[in-house]
Chain A
Amino acid sequence: RKEVEQDPGPFNVPEGATVAFNCTYSNSASQSFFWYRQDCRKEPKLLMSVYSSGNEDGRFTAQLNRASQYISLLIRDSKLSDSATYLCVVREGGGRRALTFGSGTRLQVQP
């Protein structure tokens, strides 16, 4: 069983749509949670951290349910530039610990 599981997609949505991604993690010792974005053949880039209280950054909203070990990302008003692979990432402990990545969910926003 993978430590971080995501639906690989692809999710094909029209511009302006709202799309949600989900992720589950198996390590109950995980303490930090993130969503990263990875464009084709590039390094992953931090999109946002995820907190238990839920957090929002513009069109992006992330939620964490520790009891269910479940993380979500909601993208509103999708733009063409949102097309990418979204990686669910967890970490056991602080910044000196490595990140554990999901295999990503691919999003394709169409005009």
Chain B
Amino acid sequence: GAVVSQHPSRVICKSGTSVKIECRSLDFQATTMFWYRQFPKQSLMLMATSNEGSKATYEQGVEKDKFLINHASLTLSTLTVTSAHPEDSSFYICSANWASSTDTQYFGPGTRLTVL
């Protein structure tokens, strides 16, 4: 089956630093990638939709200047959490839509971010 990878799987950083998370589709081209966030004991919440070659669409309440998304190729999208603070500590998960498929989304394994 299709595989989506994320890197890093876990990151611990100091408050004020920026963290970049990569999401890669390993064996298919992803025209659309989604970034979700999950706080403990809560549901996954969509942060933004990333389309290759265009600007990301952010959900209400998600600051685009704080969560920078770049989708420069059909296999890579990056999420940069700028000037991270403890309240940004969360589980960040990407998913990718296969260009040839109308229905299937594939999830990455997630990145656990802890901001001290």
Distance of B63 from chain A, by nearest CB (Å): 18
Query: Are B110 and A42 in contact (CB-based, < 8 A)?
Result: yes
**Chain B contact surface mostly:** strand
Query: Are B107 and A32 in contact (CB-based, < 8 A)?
Result: no
Distance of A32 from chain B, by nearest CB (Å): 7
> Which range holds the interface residue count of chain B?
20 to 34
> Which range holds the interface residue count of chain A?
20 to 34
**Segment among A63-71, A74-82, A90-98 that sits at the interface with chain B:** A90-98
Query: Are A95 and B107 in contact (CB-based, < 8 A)?
Result: no
> In the complex, which residues of chain B have a beta carbon less than 8 angstroms from the beta carbon of A45?
107
Binding site for A on B (CB under 8 A): 31-32, 34, 36, 41-46, 49, 91, 93, 95, 97-98, 101-105, 107-110, 112
Binding site for B on A (CB under 8 A): 2, 4, 8, 32, 41-45, 87, 94-96, 98-104
